[in-house]
Amino acid sequence: MQKLLELKNLKTYFNTEDGVAKAVDGVSYSLNKQETLGLVGESGCGKSVTALSIMRLIPTPPGFFAGGEIRFEGHDLLQASEAEMRKIRGNHISMIFQEPMTSLNPVYTCGSQIAEAVVLHQKLSAKEARNKSIEMLRLVGIPAPEQRFGEYPHQLSGGMRQRVMIAMALSCNPALLIADEPTTALDVTVQAQILELMNRLQSELGMGVIMITHDLGVIAEVSKQVAVMYASKIVEFGSVEQIFSNPLHPYTQGLLKSIPKIGEKIERLNVIEGSVPPSTHFPKGCNFCTRCPYADDTCWNEEPELQEYESGHTAACLKILELTRV
């Protein structure tokens, strides 16, 4: 299939008082058209910075791109001018942010905020933009869309606000949708509705999706490919079946073991001991060596690279062959 997005050795750093923080350090992955890629990892691993890098929304300074490429439909976004990026954002690449109440402007109606993007990118008249916005509100399952068009964000529930964000993101029919933890602040029932909605809209509109989350259940629900991220790097990449049935990296194994299973009697949840090292002082070797139960001197001194162990299934660990023989 034709590649929609390709990241090659992306490095996004920030200058801080403690030194250079390597928020994204050599990340590479690709996404085909009309597919969903799940990007999973704990808080602070670089998931959102990767998304903001794709959108070119990194504040510079203190942030800067230290290297790599972000190729969208064959064009390197890091070489694009700011004027070119303004035409791409919201039109060809859209993003749903984690908390809709902080993303939606509280002093403008929900409908006017959707219409603004349509007028800017699609060059529609005010009346056409209103009709398009109401159509989008109806598409995402909001009842009485004509009424909701004139309401403010605080008048809607959390689930409704997230649907407004989805309507806004999809109003210009983008080729790529980046969803940054779109269901984190929602209860389980509404979360399931939002995921079902996104699955349906993707199949109807034919867009590629990057789903960013720390919830492996969400990944299993919507993604075809999964990238596991830890401490600014991709440590494992594969299909959903490969990641869940045969996790190779010790970090991925730890994440899956920490999920409680229905019917299983447990006294204490499994945890990954320790904490993520600061991005200004990563270890010389593997970033996970400070928490890995299998780490030895080699792990502390030699940085692992992603290696392919079966078709499409890669992992960055010096111990994998040794562990799989046990």
Q: What are the start and end residues of each CATH 3.40.50.300 domain in the chain?
A: 3-92+174-324
In contact, 90 and 117? CB cutoff 8 Å: yes
Q: What is the structure's pLDDT at 249?
A: 93
Rounded mean pLDDT, 41-53: 89
Give domain 3-92+174-324's CATH superfamily.
P-loop containing nucleotide triphosphate hydrolases (3.40.50.300)
pLDDT of 160 > 70? The answer is yes
Rounded mean pLDDT, 234-251: 93
Highest mean pLDDT among 42-46, 135-139, 151-155: 151-155
In contact, 210 and 179? CB cutoff 8 Å: yes
**pLDDT tens digits along 88-125:** 888 889 888 777 667 788 899 999 988 888 888 777 88
Rounded mean pLDDT, 172-196: 81
Instruction: Give 315's strand partners.
Output: 236, 307
pLDDT band at residue 326, thresholds of 50, 70 and 90?
A: very low
pLDDT band at residue 324, thresholds of 50, 70 and 90?
A: low
Residues 6+ apart with CB under 8 A from 230: 41, 42, 45, 251, 276, 287, 288
pTM of the predicted model as reported, rounded to 2 decimal places: 0.87
User: Across all residues in the chain, what is the average pLDDT?
Assistant: 87
Pick the residue with more confidence: 252 or 122?
252
Pick the residue with more confidence: 236 or 310?
236
